[in-house]
Structure 1
């Protein structure tokens, strides 16, 4: 006995998730990555390492994370020398910037693709930037973030909070102006 196809096809299930204004599901990786000349210039190992750095478990919302060579090599099942070689190729290809002394890697052009959110989210990014050990990378990431609309909103919110907070100078001068302090005891 054969079964005939159902006259009513199953309903199309739309993907669930967060949608951005262009109606594609949000992910940390832009579809444009796979047509990037810099990305496509890498061999398979280079692309594997870039994908690992781009959206591995260590990545955060400021695009700069500390990745110890031995740790990454173990994750990738590579010798540490191979990791260091390909990390250098990512640097040479202008895909990342790094500080070898602190083992921090920053994804170049991170905020071109990751600068959406509220000013509160932006303040969270600023706190992550403040934790970057490398002074050079911290300065670079902060400058790139500050150049985005999200960065500007977060910086304005921080300035407004600082302006609203009572200053130590005002508290001290008010204390010195009390009768007790003026009489000397």
Structure 2
């Protein structure tokens, strides 16, 4: 179970062609469940046995597996049945690491992903997001403002 108190869900989900193109409202509900359930973590990837999800949603297993397969086909999630791990595709577009501590914690979660296929996908998307984060917050090396841990906005504003 996650210690997260909240999850970011972009209002753009309602305009997403992948999401609105689902021909089943159960699949849409399941996607929102995956985004916000207590199993969710900062890597957007978690192990979720079918029985847990069916219990949470009060669904029959057939309904759950069909909705999950629709999400896989719509390229909204990646699922490995061998490890029961689910990854919310493009998770880091909306939930990129906010700082170095967040990044380190997310890396630890990613390293614990059992599925090679899922872990490789999560690692790739995470590295792209983390590179963008570090490029935005750190001045170029060998400049007078290159100070580990201070973001450009804090340097400009003169904060500590």
TM tier relative to shorter chain: 0.7 to 0.9
Q: Please, which of 103, 112, 129 is the counterpart of residue 122 of structure 1? A: 103
Q: TM-score, normalised by structure 2?
A: 0.75
1:64–1:105 Cα contact (<8 Å) kept: yes
1:39 alignment counterpart: 19
Q: Secondary structure at the match of 1:147?
A: helix
2:93 alignment counterpart: 112
Equivalent-residue separation in structure 1 for 2:52 and 2:98 (angstroms): 31
Structure 1: any 5+ residue segments left out of the alignment?
1-25, 154-185
Change (3 A) 1:147 1:135: same
RMSD: 1.7
Change (3 A) 1:152 1:28: closer
1:72 alignment counterpart: 53
Query: What does the per-residue CA deviation read over 1:25-83, in whole Å, with 9 as the maximum and x for residues that have no partner?
Result: x9510111111111111221111100111111100010001111111011111111111
The structure 1 segments of at least 4 consecutive aligned residues displaced by more than 2 Å after TM superposition are 149-153
2:98–2:133 Cα contact (<8 Å) kept: no
Change (3 A) 1:90 1:35: same
Per mean C-alpha deviation after superposition, the further-off stretch among 141-150 and 73-82 is 141-150
Q: Please, which of 137, 141, 154 is the counterpart of residue 122 of structure 2? A: 141
Structure 1 segment 51-90 matched on structure 2, within 5 A: 51-90=32-71
Structure 2: any 5+ residue segments left out of the alignment?
1-5, 135-160
Q: Secondary structure at the match of 1:148?
A: helix
Higher relative contact order (CA 8 A, sep 6+): 2
1:129–1:141 Cα contact (<8 Å) kept: yes
Cα deviation for residue 116 of structure 1 reads: 4.0
Aligned length: 128
Q: Please, which of 8, 28, 34 is the counterpart of residue 28 of structure 1? A: 8
Question: Which is greater in Rg?
Answer: 1
